[in-house]
Chain A
Amino acid sequence: MTKDLSRKDKTLGEALRSQGISRRSFLKFCAATASMMALPPSMIPTIAHALEKARRPSVIWLSFQECTGCTESLTRAHTATIESLIFDSISLDYHHTLQAAAGHAAEAAREAAMEENDGQYLVVVDGSIPLGNPGYSTIAGISNYDMLIDTAKGAAAIITVGTCAAFGGIPHAKPNPTGAVSVSDIIKDKPIINVPGCPPIPVVITGVLTHFLTFGTIPDLDNLGRPKTFYGQSIHDRCYRRPFYDKGLFAETFDDEGARKGWCLYKLGCKGPTTYNACATTKWNGGVSFPIEAGHPCLGCSEPDFWDGGGFYKAISMPTENITKTAIYAAAAGAAAGIAIGATGRMKKAGARKAHQKVTIDDLEK
């Protein structure tokens, strides 16, 4: 290793070592990653070898209609973990929030990265793309749509970070004023890995990157394009409060005895049963906690249309509209119709009785 290697030419192993990461810590990370991705221990050397040798991939990060929450989640690790260093070690050639360059210089960096790494670079997208009017969201005068099409052309794969890029997210919520859509609504000819969440868990993105660097392929995805390793099980199935659900012990309000005792939050609208994410297992803030552990029901943020899912505090089994009113009106209408039909029948019967003429001998002799 020579000191004059430019940062871009360094392998991941070199980059990590130059940041003071020991081989022992590095192998520990590889072992943890293997176990996190449910790979056999025999794969640890493979991962280590692949990461050692991997050239830092060029990553172009496109931020469209987003709130920067995803970037905050991924970069604001509370300690400098090895995951965050892996993240730092990719060659992030373009990222609005993090890059020093601005304006034309920034765009030039993107174009240069695309040219140098044609067919090799990764595109990370956060934010949805407005189709309503290009003017809703532009970067350096380029519409989000045009920039995505242009950048995606030479990409090896696209990783959507956050629910907005993966499924449209909050901009896509009704009435969707900007005509926001997801990346997969536009790009059909590139492998897309969806990493939804509002925001997604930082370790999930490093896991996906590690998988890509180790195997050169994209991980197994579910029907919504999410890596099965992290989105394979519902929050409900891995929730530590699940035994309370099974016993029928629920918090009814946020400050009742059930809430204090840490019972199930289903009745308070928890979307855990319909949400697939790794929150209950990897947790947040370095494994400290996750929303349900903090006493708040899951909002279902890694699912499509979670914002329009009928209310955050309404249980999944409850109707989203006022059914009581509907039932009362329907009952009244049904009763009225039944009485009307019955009355008509009675009138008909009475009429028939009235119109009935007895046959006399004279009639028969006619």
Chain B
Amino acid sequence: MTETELLTWVRGPGFQIATIIFVLGIMLRLFEIIMLGRKANLAEAKGPEMSSGVRTIFTRTLPDASTFKRSTFTITTGYIFHIGLFVVIFLYAPHILLFKAVLGISWPALPSTVIDATAVITIITLVIVLVHRLKDPVKRFLSNFDDYLGWFVTILPLVTGYIAFHRVGMSAPALIAIHILSVELLMIVFPFTKLMHMFTLVLARWYNGAISGYRGVQS
């Protein structure tokens, strides 16, 4: 298989397979969770569920002061790499073209130099986060294979993308093919690991807000 053939395969059938597993897996898991339902609450409602739930989805995006004080490092690095991932994935022109091809919508891109710098910051932060996870006894105790796999498949597309952008070591078709392959690996692993938090956090936050609202307490 030549490099061009590999690139054509990852852009065609490879991406097709990854999309099927990614979308099917996410929908399956979300609907499984929704289908679990909740036990009927026999207590009288002291406030609205829905508005409190929806509000909490947004308010929990920012940490409260005491939590931030307690875990300043974790929260700060978490913000950096999450925002970094958002910028790199959604604001790079070739990536936006992909979303346009699949979703039919597009938005303005950032200059590639900004993306390049953001990628470097994100990669460094992810490495720092891993080191911290390994060094901190509590975090290490709480971590399992799922956490390390999630970290690996997240940093891999960043690293391969960075190398492909700078064309180091191999020819461009091979580097771009490897980058797309690493994204496909992420897509395949995504629904079956903790990376699902990208979608389940909405449900979880809503649920937290909703039970608080039902009880008439602030969330």
Contacts and interface: CB of A to CB of B under 8 A. Distances in A.
A274 B31 contact: no
Contacts, number: 153
A117 interface: no
A217 B19 CA distance: 49
A267 interface: yes
Contacts of A360: none
Interface stretch (A68-76, A96-104, A245-253): A245-253
A187 interface: no
B171 A223 contact: yes
A316 interface: yes
A317 interface: yes
B117 to A, nearest CB: 12
Interface in B43-97: 93-95, 97
Contacts of A304: 2-5
Range for the number of chain B residues in contact with chain A = 35 or more
A334 B94 contact: no
Interface string B1-38: 01111011001110110011011111111111011110
B34 A317 contact: no
Contact of B15 (A237, A306, A319): A319
Contact of B173 (A274, A315, A334): A274
Contacts of B133: none
A305 to B, nearest CB: 4
B2 A334 contact: no
A310 B113 contact: no
Nearest to B13: A321
B143 interface: no
A324 B102 CA distance: 5
Given A310-B8, A331-B24, A318 B173 contact: no
B112 interface: yes
A303 B4 contact: yes
A222 B170 CA distance: 10
Given A245-B112, A274-B173, A343-B35, A323 B16 contact: yes
A319 B20 CA distance: 14
Contacts of B167: 234, 237
Given A316-B176, A317-B97, A330-B19, A341 B11 contact: no
Chain B at the A interface: mostly helix, strand, loop or mixed?
helix
B101 interface: yes
Nearest to B96: A317
B108 interface: yes
A337 interface: yes
B180 to A, nearest CB: 8
Contacts of B129: none
B33 to A, nearest CB: 8
B109 interface: yes
Pick from A245, A246, A250, A317 the residue with the most CB of B within 10 Å: A317
Nearest to A233: B167
A248 B97 contact: no
Interface string B89-122: 0000111011001111000111111000000000
A147 interface: no
A326 interface: yes
A266 interface: yes
Chain A CB within 10 A, most for which of B7, B34, B113: B7
Contacts of A315: 94, 97
A220 interface: no
Contact of B20 (A234, A330, A346): A330
A274 B7 contact: yes
A177 interface: no
Interface string A42-65: 000000000000000000000000
A306 B30 CA distance: 41
B163 interface: no
Contact of B172 (A234, A308, A319, A334): A234
* Residue with the highest number of chain A CB atoms closer than 10 Å, among B20, B108, B172: B172
Given A222-B171, A326-B19, A334-B25, 10 more contacts: A223-B171, A246-B112, A276-B171, A317-B94, A337-B24, A338-B28, A338-B29, A338-B30, A343-B35, A346-B35
24 contacts: A237-B167, A246-B112, A266-B94, A267-B97, A273-B172, A274-B171, A274-B176, A304-B3, A305-B4, A306-B4, A308-B8, A309-B4, A317-B98, A318-B97, A319-B12, A326-B23, A327-B102, A334-B28, A335-B27, A337-B27, A338-B35, A339-B35, A342-B36, A345-B36
Interface of A: 167, 222-224, 234, 236-237, 245-248, 250, 266-267, 273-276, 300, 303-306, 308-310, 315-321, 323-324, 326-327, 330-335, 337-339, 341-343, 345-346
